[in-house]
């Protein structure tokens, strides 16, 4: 494998396949590389995956998308965070917002000052110091592109199939060649086992130097051919099914459209949780559950009974095992998306992990030859990404007061990874989550979720005691006033969409 890499073959045309095609054609170009994407309409795509996190804007910016056009074409709405209902206990709600909570002082997060304010008798509502929470609560949106450091941080809810189509048009315009057909055979070099070509049902052969496996849960190249192995994390994240159904937009009592909420809602249920993701013309819904505690038929029944709009299709069941491939890069195959592993969609991280994998592939892109060192480095970095997200997700289930069903009793009492245990102990004692700069979820995210789930740290950083009581109160009220001032130029989410980026009527 010392020859120059020229032919890149992407297997799969779901979100990850087309994200990869668009990214590679944008960065590497198609002058020096042939980029071919193979997909099978007969097999189809997973087709869910509608909520994202703000980093997706970096990917869209890299491709040079006009944001309004992207929102219009993908039927998207804006997302300012996630509302968690019934997670700490039934009847309790908290918000995990994007953006910052207050302003740090001398490198110490504002959350420590919030703790001091709380000890002085202040409100326990930390979202008063976060712009996204305030805007979400009032259903507001705006881009706030002036020089003021308090900005509105946002992501999107979008139609995954429309996004893949949007990326396909972009990629094909840049020279990516799409081949329709079902791969029935994968050919390997008999010496080293590197892949040489894939064969389609109709006999066509597609040769390549580098293969990107975006074939979904089946992992056609990485698992079925190279037997990379799968690390199963379902003892910590036991949900293994989702029932999904889109509904018409919710309506108010007078028959008019209910406002499009600029946030995802996650409602904990008896054996998992239910998502609600509003797009412009419909709402995505799904019940993520563990089939040891509720059957597929029961789960569908529960989901259909808890919708706020009329179903547009029959519900479909998706089956998965949470975990990851032991090697995500093996020989000349790199797995991205569902082919590389799956962490359930509680914090909308799957599409982000595709983006991260693609960015790392580009960082270490092998011009000539693939050395084991590159693959090792890639695998180590991707594993760290997965582990970090995994621990954050487990915390949502484990740190809870709920013990009302066998599922919640299991989650509350299960043993957890040491890395999470030590972080939870540290946070409970000091209010610090000790987040490394490379981690996706920052201090503010851990703070929102852990406090939301019911952990009030026993202490806070001494810097928060370095100012007088009057001064700390004054800072708190100034910060709230600054956030309220930033709310003023925002408009309703629906008005914002109508003004800038309404999708064509469907």
Q: What residues act catalytically?
A: 79
**CA 332 and chain centroid, separation:** 27
Q: Which of 25, 171, 348, 379 binds ligand FAD (CB under 6 A)?
A: 348
Stretch that binds ligand FAD, among 108-116, 228-236, 334-342, 475-483 (CB under 6 A): 334-342
Query: Does position 15 bind ligand FAD by CB under 6 A?
Result: yes
Query: Does position 386 bind ligand FAD by CB under 6 A?
Result: no
Query: Does position 23 bind ligand FAD by CB under 6 A?
Result: no
Binding to ligand FAD by CB under 6 A, coded x per residue (else -) over 190-229, reads ------------------------xxx-x-x---------
Stretch that binds ligand FAD, among 120-128, 189-197, 306-314, 331-339 (CB under 6 A): 331-339
Cα–Cα dist 145/387, whole Å: 34
Cα–Cα dist 379/389, whole Å: 15
**Which 138-197 positions form the footprint of ligand FAD (CB under 6 A)?**
160, 182-183
Q: What letter would DSSP give residue 108?
A: B
Minimum Å gap between C-beta 454 and ligand FAD is: 25
Cα–Cα dist 138/493, whole Å: 9
Cα–Cα dist 435/456, whole Å: 18
Bridge partners of 38, per DSSP, are 11, 179
Other Cβ atoms closer than 10 A to 418: 9
Determine the 3-state secondary structure of 134 from DSSP. Answer: helix
Cα–Cα dist 145/306, whole Å: 39
Which residue, 44 or 372, is less far from ligand FAD as judged by CB? 44
Minimum Å gap between C-beta 180 and ligand FAD is: 9
Pairing state between β 333-335 and 282-289 = unpaired
| The residue to which tokens 């019940």 are assigned | 287
Backbone dihedral region of 403: left (phi > 0), alpha (psi from -120 to 50 degrees) or beta? alpha
Q: Which of 141, 242, 361, 497 binds ligand FAD (CB under 6 A)?
A: 242
Count residues near ligand FAD (CB under 6 A). Answer: 38
Q: Which of 62, 422, 131, 424 is nearest to 70 (CA)?
A: 62
Minimum Å gap between C-beta 488 and ligand FAD is: 31
Minimum Å gap between C-beta 51 and ligand FAD is: 4
Query: Does position 285 bind ligand FAD by CB under 6 A?
Result: no
Q: What letter would DSSP give residue 128?
A: G
**Which 481-500 positions form the footprint of ligand FAD (CB under 6 A)?**
none
Q: Which of 345, 452, 457, 476 binds ligand FAD (CB under 6 A)?
A: 345
Query: Does position 472 bind ligand FAD by CB under 6 A?
Result: no
Query: Does position 389 bind ligand FAD by CB under 6 A?
Result: no
Name, in order, each residue with C-beta under 8 angstroms of 348's C-beta and a sequence gap of 6 or more: 51, 52, 53, 82, 155, 264
Which residue, 26 or 182, is less far from ligand FAD as judged by CB? 182
Answer for the pair 199, 185: CB distance below 8 angstroms, yes or no: yes
Q: Which of 8, 9, 10, 14 binds ligand FAD (CB under 6 A)?
A: 14
Ordered strands of the 205-207 beta sheet: 183-188, 195-200, 205-207
Minimum Å gap between C-beta 344 and ligand FAD is: 7
Pairing state between β 81-85 and 177-180 = unpaired
Which residue, 74 or 350, is less far from ligand FAD as judged by CB? 350
Stretch that binds ligand FAD, among 66-74, 105-113, 148-156, 348-356 (CB under 6 A): 348-356
Minimum Å gap between C-beta 412 and ligand FAD is: 24
Minimum Å gap between C-beta 387 and ligand FAD is: 18
**CA 136 and chain centroid, separation:** 19
Cα–Cα dist 398/384, whole Å: 21
Stretch that binds ligand FAD, among 13-21, 130-138, 228-236, 397-405 (CB under 6 A): 13-21
Which residue, 56 or 490, is less far from ligand FAD as judged by CB? 56
Other Cβ atoms closer than 10 A to 413: 9
Radius of gyration for the chain, computed over Cα atoms and rounded to the nearest angstrom:
23
Stretch that binds ligand FAD, among 9-17, 112-120, 325-333, 445-453 (CB under 6 A): 9-17
- Cα separations in angstroms, 108 against 101, 102, 423, 451: 12, 11, 18, 18
Name, in order, each residue with C-beta under 8 angstroms of 47's C-beta and a sequence gap of 6 or more: 14, 160, 161
Q: Which helix (H) or strand (E) holds 485?
A: helix 469-487
Q: Which of 238, 337, 431, 452 binds ligand FAD (CB under 6 A)?
A: 337
Query: Does position 393 bind ligand FAD by CB under 6 A?
Result: no
Binding to ligand FAD by CB under 6 A, coded x per residue (else -) over 32-51, reads ------xxx--xxxx-xxxx
Query: Does position 238 bind ligand FAD by CB under 6 A?
Result: no
Cα–Cα dist 420/453, whole Å: 15
Query: Does position 52 bind ligand FAD by CB under 6 A?
Result: yes
Asked whether the CA dihedral 103, 104, 109, 112 is positive or negative, the reply is negative
Stretch that binds ligand FAD, among 88-96, 297-305, 338-346, 483-491 (CB under 6 A): 338-346
Cα–Cα dist 220/239, whole Å: 24
Query: Does position 63 bind ligand FAD by CB under 6 A?
Result: no
Minimum Å gap between C-beta 244 and ligand FAD is: 6
Question: Under the rule (CB under 6 A), what is the footprint of ligand FAD?
Answer: 12-17, 38-40, 43-46, 48-52, 160, 182-183, 214-216, 218, 220, 242, 244, 286, 318, 320, 337-339, 345, 348, 350-351
């Amino acid at each position: 494998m010392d020859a120059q890499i020229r032919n890149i073959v992407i297997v799969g045309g779901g979100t990850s396949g087309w994200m990869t095609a668009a990214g590679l054609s944008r960065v590497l170009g198609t002058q020096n590389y042939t980029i071919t994407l193979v997909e099978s309409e007969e097999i189809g795509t997973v087709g869910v995956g509608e909520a994202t996190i703000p980093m997706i804007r970096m990917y869209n910016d890299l491709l040079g998308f006009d944001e309004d056009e992207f929102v219009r074409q993908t039927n998207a709405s804006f997302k300012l965070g996630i509302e968690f209902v019934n997670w700490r206990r039934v009847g309790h709600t908290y918000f995990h917002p994007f953006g910052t909570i207050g302003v740090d002082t001398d490198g110490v997060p504002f959350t420590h000052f919030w703790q001091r304010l709380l000890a002085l008798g202040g409100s326990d509502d930390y979202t008063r110091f976060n712009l996204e929470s305030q805007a979400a609560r009032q259903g507001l949106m705006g881009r706030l592109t002036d020089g003021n450091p308090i900005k509105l941080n946002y992501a999107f809810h979008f139609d995954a199939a429309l996004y893949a189509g949007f990326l396909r048009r972009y990629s094909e315009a840049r020279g990516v060649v799409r081949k329709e057909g079902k791969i029935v055979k994968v050919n390997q070099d008999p010496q080293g086992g590197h892949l040489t070509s894939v064969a389609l049902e109709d006999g066509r052969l597609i040769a390549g130097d580098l293969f990107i496996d975006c074939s979904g849960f089946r992992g056609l190249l990485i698992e079925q051919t190279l037997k990379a192995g799968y690390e199963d994390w379902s003892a910590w994240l036991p949900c293994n099914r989702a029932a999904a159904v889109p509904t018409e937009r919710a309506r108010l009592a007078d028959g008019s459209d209910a406002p499009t909420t600029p946030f995802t809602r996650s409602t904990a249920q008896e054996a998992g949780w239910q998502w609600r993701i509003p797009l412009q013309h419909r709402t995505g819904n799904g019940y993520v559950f563990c089939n040891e505690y509720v059957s597929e038929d029961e789960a569908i029944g529960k989901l259909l009974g808890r919708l706020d709009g009329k179903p547009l299709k029959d519900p479909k069941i998706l089956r998965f095992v949470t975990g990851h491939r032991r090697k995500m890069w093996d020989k000349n195959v790199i797995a991205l998306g569902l082919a590389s592993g799956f962490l359930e969609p509680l914090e909308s991280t799957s599409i982000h992990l595709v983006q991260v994998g693609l960015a790392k592939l580009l960082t270490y892109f092998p011009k000539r030859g693939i050395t084991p060192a590159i693959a090792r480095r890639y695998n180590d970095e991707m594993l760290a990404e997965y582990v970090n997200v995994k621990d954050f997700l487990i915390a949502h289930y484990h740190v809870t007061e709920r013990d009302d069903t066998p599922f919640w009793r299991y989650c509350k009492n299960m043993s957890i990874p040491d890395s999470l245990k030590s972080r939870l102990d540290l946070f409970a004692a000091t209010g610090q989550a000790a987040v490394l700069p490379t981690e996706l979820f920052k201090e503010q995210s851990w703070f929102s979720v852990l406090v939301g789930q019911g952990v009030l740290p026993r202490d806070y950083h001494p810097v928060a005691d370095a100012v007088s009581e009057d001064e700390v109160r004054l800072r708190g009220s100034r910060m709230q006033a600054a956030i309220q001032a930033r709310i003023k130029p925002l408009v309703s989410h629906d008005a914002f969409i109508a003004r800038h980026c309404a999708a064509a009527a469907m």
